[in-house]
Amino acid sequence: MTIRFILNGEDMEINAEANQRLIGILRDRLGLTASKSGCLNGSCGACSVIFNGAVSPSCLIPAFRLQGSEVITLEGFSQTIEYQDIAAGFASAGVESCGYCDAGKILATELLLGYNLQPGRDEFAAAFRGIRCRCTNGENLYQGVLSAGEMRQRRIYGRSL
Ligand code: FES
Ligand code: FES
């Protein structure tokens, strides 16, 4: 079937089997490899993308659901100033980055900071429920999210809130 959608801000048209997974389309056909192929059952978050405004596992998105949708991958998001806030915040908190879970933890952080620049632990836990990181413990990651929020506050307001 022919599928038209928006990928990282650009119109995209592809031919794909209706049930082909988005993770395969991104990695094998479009060369976008920031989303990793992990569990393939929706439980690790390594394949995350922003799909119609929500962080979603691309291994659970069949091609037919892409029709008319908007997808942002880590490749697209990494071109934004908002990404710089998160990269700087994670670096300052010493958050590890082997690359495997980057799509999940960075995109989840972005959506969380969109709601609250100083999220509490419960909000953090809810936002990261589907993200598994083998290298960074939860507390370190939470501190990285807070640091990223601080970076954004300084960039937008010139100071902490
Ligand atoms: S590979 Fe998609 S959630 Fe694990
Ligand atoms: S930084 Fe390695 S799995 Fe998360």
Indicate the residue type of 96. Answer: E
Q: Does ligand 2 have an atom closer than 6 angstroms to the CB of 143?
A: no
Location of each CATH 1.10.150.120 domain in the chain: 81-157
Within the chain, all domains assigned CATH 3.10.20.30 are found at: 2-73
Ligand 2 close to Cβ of residue 101 (< 6 A): yes
Residue 71 reports pLDDT greater than 80: yes
Pocket test for ligand 2, best of 35, 100, 131, 142 (most atoms within 8 A of CB): 100
Which pLDDT score, from 0 to 100, does residue 97 have?
85
pLDDT at 160 over 70: no
CATH superfamily of 81-157: [2Fe-2S]-binding domain (1.10.150.120)
Give this prediction's pTM: 0.95
Separation between Cα atoms, residue 106 and residue 113, nearest integer Å: 11
Topology given in CATH for the domain delimited by 2-73:
Ubiquitin-like (UB roll) (3.10.20)
Question: Among 106, 104, 8, which Cα is nearest to 48's?
Answer: 104
